[in-house]
Structure 1
Amino acid sequence: MFSFTSYPYPKSESLKEILGSSLVAGILIYLFLIIFQPFGTENFHHPYKLLLLFPYCIIFGGAFFLTNLFTSKFNNWNIGSELLKVIIILIIGSVLSYFYNSLFLSHVPLSIGNYFYMLLYSLAIGIPISAIYVLSRYIYLKNIHENIAMKVSEQLADAKPVQQNHLLKVSSANTELLIDESNFLCVQSMENYCTFYYLEDNQLKKHIIRISLANVLNQIETKSVQKCHRSYIVNLGKVKSLKGNAQGYKLHLSGFEVEIPVSRSFIATIIPKLQQQKK
């Protein structure tokens, strides 16, 4: 079980995705409250009961949003990290919910004992549901990405090599690098430097230049040379196979042993382009 929690897990990468998932989480909490009415809400009678329960949607949706926004900065995210994040969200949500319930709904004195009861109730309900969601999402994404990767890899194995006749030119300060597109493999960004990988007489070569990845992309982007990750630009014409997992995809290039990751935000553009140019 503990080894399974160390498996990589796809976390939200964009503000739009975080905002959307937070909205869905808040709405689901609200629906759960009005359908099952936990925390004694079944004994709460008010003509505007549904309206008064709506702040719980805002509370848990806000906790979900802020926690996801904070954790989006972390790397090497895994299932254990995701489950810990869920517990933190439940704790934050239970604290805010307790204050809202005590001060505005039930009007009872604040006490550690009453809050502890709500915390246990929140964890007892939230953790099993969240664990099922996290594991189900992991398995679903893993199966989807593995199946697509297998199909694309079969297409790549049967396809003819892509003809690439462009000369890629990179200029930065007093440095200039010329690479034939047919020999270019990828660029990896490391802080303020970029490492260019390419073939020369069938031998792997690399060249480091002080330049941003965005500047590199502006100079060398073609139909095949595309950004696939915040740290990588890759030559799709050199991709020989595709590997899929729950986080997304990794590209295997001819003559290059390192796997190139494809960020989830680039999947919608990279995979179709890879399929189109290999037909």
Structure 2
Amino acid sequence: MKSLHTLPLILKYTSEQPRFSLLDSVKNRITLIAFCSAFSFLFMYIFLPFNINMWYEGQQIALAQLFGIFTLCGVVAMCISQFLLVRIKWREKLTNATYLFWFLGEIVLITTIVTIVDVMVTDTLFLSWAEFVSTLRYTALIIPLPYFIALLWFYTREKCALLKTLEEVQQSADKTGTGKDTCLLIRDEHDKPVLTLHPARLLLIKAEDNYVHIFYMSGSTVSKELVRTSLKKLEAQLAASGFTRAHRSYLVNISKVVLFKKNAKGHYLHIEGLDDVVVPVSNTCLPVFQEHFR
């Protein structure tokens, strides 16, 4: 198992739309194409959807050969999409939601190639808009199922790998205790892992209704994560790592406090990297900071 020092400091699980990355791996792209082609061929050959066997009666080419040709057309189209067009710069900016438009483009590309080849190998068909639309309809009914089964498999495998990494971090943490060299695993109210990071990178936690805002260093920049949990729960977890309550709504990393001062309204703190955030210090929590900064 990897040591904590070789693990990434931060592993995030958010509800935001991330960049679509399931097909970044060449292996995943090859698997996608192979699965879609095998599924489509077997589906057409076994179930003969749309009475497809009656379309080509009287043709010299065997039905199995015809299905193989159609499958090869799909393979060619998806190879163009996944290995040539994928190099387009804006392709890298697609999110999980906007990738749907790329997929629709793949269906159109597959339909175009299948229509052209179909007209070439049969005597009764002619290249026309009606023929293209008809082929598009049937392609759109066959391709999505294997395509999204493959994507679901990639997604599940990716999340299982991340969860396994988090479990390894937690197991290491349980063995070494909750000292400053141990990564923290923050969970939401349903005990689902949300964020893993080193205590030294955690700056401030602010409560807001049933959520907390977690401010932490991600590289050289400050990031913020919204988690549905309670400040009280995190306070118990972080107490041994140098975190203390400054106010009923604030939990701070006391080692990151760069200014402790009093003004007309009372005492307040400034946290490293959070120049625009003023943390009030309540009278109840004041003795801890007076003792620390005297």
Percent identity over the alignment is 12
Contact 1:12 1:18 in 2 (8 A): yes
TM-superposed CA distance for 1:120, in Å, is 2.2
Secondary structure of 1:23's counterpart equals helix
Structure 1 residues 118 and 242: alpha-carbon distance in aligned structure 2, compared to 1, 3 A threshold: farther
Give the aligned partner of residue 230 of structure 1: none
Give the aligned partner of residue 112 of structure 2: 95
Inter-partner Cα distance in structure 2 for 1:154 and 1:92? 47
Alignment gaps of 5+ in structure 1: 162-201, 203-237, 244-248, 261-279
Give the aligned partner of residue 144 of structure 1: 160
Q: RMSD between aligned alpha carbons? A: 3.8
Question: Structure 2 residue aligned with 1:240, among 183, 192, 195?
Answer: 183
Bigger radius of gyration: 2
TM-superposed CA distance for 1:66, in Å, is 2.0
Contact 1:9 1:138 in 2 (8 A): no
Structure 1 residues 12 and 142: alpha-carbon distance in aligned structure 2, compared to 1, 3 A threshold: closer
Structure 1 residues 250 and 28: alpha-carbon distance in aligned structure 2, compared to 1, 3 A threshold: farther
Structure 1 residues 258 and 152: alpha-carbon distance in aligned structure 2, compared to 1, 3 A threshold: farther
**Higher RCO structure, 1 or 2 (CA under 8 Å, sep 6+):** 1
Structure 1 residues 8 and 51: alpha-carbon distance in aligned structure 2, compared to 1, 3 A threshold: same
- Is 1:122–2:139 an aligned residue pair? yes
Inter-partner Cα distance in structure 2 for 1:27 and 1:242? 42
Amino acid at match of 1:52: L
Structure 1 length-normalised TM: 0.50
Contact 1:86 1:130 in 2 (8 A): no
1:1-279 map, 5 Å: 6-38=17-49, 40-43=51-54, 44-45=56-57, 48-69=62-83, 70-71=85-86, 74-127=91-144, 130-131=147-148, 134=151, 136-137=152-153, 140-141=156-157, 144-145=160-161, 147-160=163-176, 240=183, 252-256=197-201, 257-258=216-217
- Alignment size in residue pairs: 177
Secondary structure of 1:114's counterpart equals helix
Inter-partner Cα distance in structure 2 for 1:62 and 1:131? 19
Alignment gaps of 5+ in structure 2: 1-14, 187-193, 202-215, 220-294
Contact 2:53 2:63 in 1 (8 A): no
TM-superposed CA distance for 1:30, in Å, is 1.4
Give the aligned partner of residue 186 of structure 1: none
Amino acid at match of 1:255: A
Contact 2:40 2:71 in 1 (8 A): yes
TM-superposed CA distance for 1:60, in Å, is 1.0
TM-superposed CA distance for 1:250, in Å, is 8.2
Inter-partner Cα distance in structure 2 for 1:77 and 1:117? 29
Structure 2 length-normalised TM: 0.48
